[in-house]
Each structure stands twice: as C-alpha cells, then as structure tokens.
Amino acid sequence: MRYRRLLDQLRQQNWMAIAIDLVIVVVGVFIGIQVANWNEDRLTAKRGEEFTERLTADLRIEAWNHANMTGYHRQVQANALRAADALSGSRQLSDEALLVAAYRATQYSDNTRQRSTYDELTSTGDLTLIADPDLRELSMWLYTTPVFDWFTDEGRGSEYRRWFRMQIPHHVQAQVAADCGDRVVITGNYAGIPTVLDYPCEVDLPAADIAAAATILRTDPEALPALRLRIGDVGTSLANLDTFYPEMWERLRKFEGDAP
C-alpha cells in the first residue's frame, strides 16, 4: 500500500511526501533488520549458555574419570609390586594373598570419555559458541590427547595379563574376580576410588586350589619377568599423566567435585 502511494506521489511530484515516505520505509527496514539481528544474537547467546553448561558438566565427569583412572592404576601397580616382591623372595605372602595380588596386577580400566558435547560442537563448527576461551582451550586439549588410551592399550595387550589368563585355571580366575575383583564406583564418588580394587577380601576356593595356583605363580619362570614388565609399563603410563600437559591436568582438577 505504501509503495503504491509512493508511486502516486512521484506522478504528482509531491517531493515532501515522497521524502517522508522514504524515511519511513528506510527506518522500518532498518528496525526490522535490527530486531532480526537482536533475536538471532539472543538465540545464539542462549545456545552458547546451554552448550557451556553441558560442556562444564562433561568436564566435571572427565575430572572424576582422570582421578579414577590414576587411582585405579596406582592400585594395580601396588598389587603388581606386592606380587613381584613375593615371587622374588623379598616379601612373604600367603598363597591366597599372592593369588589375589597377582590377579589384580592383570587388571586395567577403560575410560569412557564424556565427549558428546565437544563432538557436537566441533562437528557443527560451533565451538566458538563457548565464550570462555579457557574452557574452549581445556576441552580441545583434553579431548585430543591420547594419554587415557595408553592405559587401556597397555593393559589389554599386557604380556603378564596374557600369561596369567593362560596359566591359572579358569575357575580360579573366575572366583578371584568374583570375590576380589573391581568394585563398582558411581561416577562422582571420589571417596570410593581408593578402594575400587585394593581392599581386603577372601577367596571362596578350596585351599588345595589356591595352593596349586600359587605354585604356578612361584615356579613358572615366565611369571616374574612378565610381572616386572607390567610394573614398568604401568609406571610409565602413570608418569606420562604427570609429564604430558601438566597445565591441562591442573586446570581440569578445578572441575573436581560431585559429578552428576
């Protein structure tokens, strides 16, 4: 309607009215663009806030995962050292205690990464929605480092684990796992980490079965060298956690708390 009136005014050469109508049209278009831009900025800011909350929640879980991973493998290492000392003769352990320590030395923990938010942001190119540059940098560091995978790869391919699984009777392994294996610790429960693997237990097996398994451990010449290799590999992985990206780990620890 306004454009038709503007054409009529052009025919009549009503310049004042034309100028007023042009100003109204330009101002209207400008306001419309500004409102659209404001609405888009508001929606973008809201998305950024939502992604920031989600990423922060993920990093809280990652902080717990880091604490659990290191705590768990320190317990693996402690049991491996205990068993190696017993096999080398520098420590006295009962047959049952030796069997438990030797079994726990075979264990490793997978680290299920909490990375869905980061992957969504990077796949859509929206990582810049995270306004906090420190949060962006920490997430990029954390989700691209392979250090967590080293534990899993080393543990799964451990020569000692392979030796133990091949030499110790399967029913003995199953019972030790049932009585003295990993405890389930709920994500966010920092208090449960120190005893997720290293806790007092008793193996519900006949004494003869325990003695027979301990004899294999004490007499097979491959047991102690494989165990020493396991000790070295776990120690290397633990050292790598402290060596690689120390600033990243320090910043991640700020997210420690009650993870959801």
What is the secondary structure of the chain as a DSSP string? -HHHHHHHHHHHT-HHHHHHHHHHHHHHHHHHHHHHHHHHHHHHHHHHHHHHHHHHHHHHHHHHHHHHHHHHHHHHHHHHHHHHHHHHTSS---HHHHHHHHHHTT---------HHHHHHHHTT-GGG---HHHHHHHHHHHH--HHHHHHHHHHT-HHHHHHHHHS-HHHHHHHHHHHSPPP--TT-GGGGGGSS-------S-HHHHHHHHHHHHH-TTHHHHHHHHHHHHHHHHHHHHHS-HHHHHHHHTT-S---
For residue 25, the model assigns a pLDDT of 61
Distance CA 140, CA 117 (A): 12
Q: Is residue 45 part of a domain?
A: yes
Q: Is residue 260 part of a domain?
A: no
For residue 152, the model assigns a pLDDT of 82
CA dihedral 57, 61, 249, 244 (to 10 degrees): -120
User: Model confidence at 24, in pLDDT bands (50, 70, 90)?
Assistant: low
Distance CA 121, CA 7 (A): 50
The region of weakest confidence among 9-13, 93-97, 147-151, 185-189 is 9-13
pLDDT tens digits for range 46-59:
888 898 999 999 99
For residue 145, the model assigns a pLDDT of 82
For residue 216, the model assigns a pLDDT of 98
For residue 109, the model assigns a pLDDT of 87
pLDDT tens digits for range 66-77:
899 999 999 999
User: For the chain, what is the domain count?
Assistant: 1
The answer to whether the beta carbons of residues 75 and 104 sit under 8 Å apart is: yes
For residue 37, the model assigns a pLDDT of 62
Q: Is residue 82 part of a domain?
A: yes
Indicate whether 225 pLDDT > 70. yes
For residue 243, the model assigns a pLDDT of 82
Q: Is residue 30 part of a domain?
A: yes
For residue 101, the model assigns a pLDDT of 98
What's phi and psi for 241, nearest 5 deg? -60, -35
For residue 3, the model assigns a pLDDT of 53
Indicate whether 27 pLDDT > 70. no
For the segment 82-90, the average pLDDT, to the nearest whole number, is 97
Q: Is residue 259 part of a domain?
A: no
Q: Domain span at residue 147?
A: 2-253
For residue 260, the model assigns a pLDDT of 47
The answer to whether the beta carbons of residues 182 and 197 sit under 8 Å apart is: yes
Q: Is residue 258 part of a domain?
A: no
- Mean pLDDT for all residues in the chain: 86
> Percent of the chain, pLDDT > 70?
82
The region of weakest confidence among 6-15, 168-177, 181-190 is 6-15
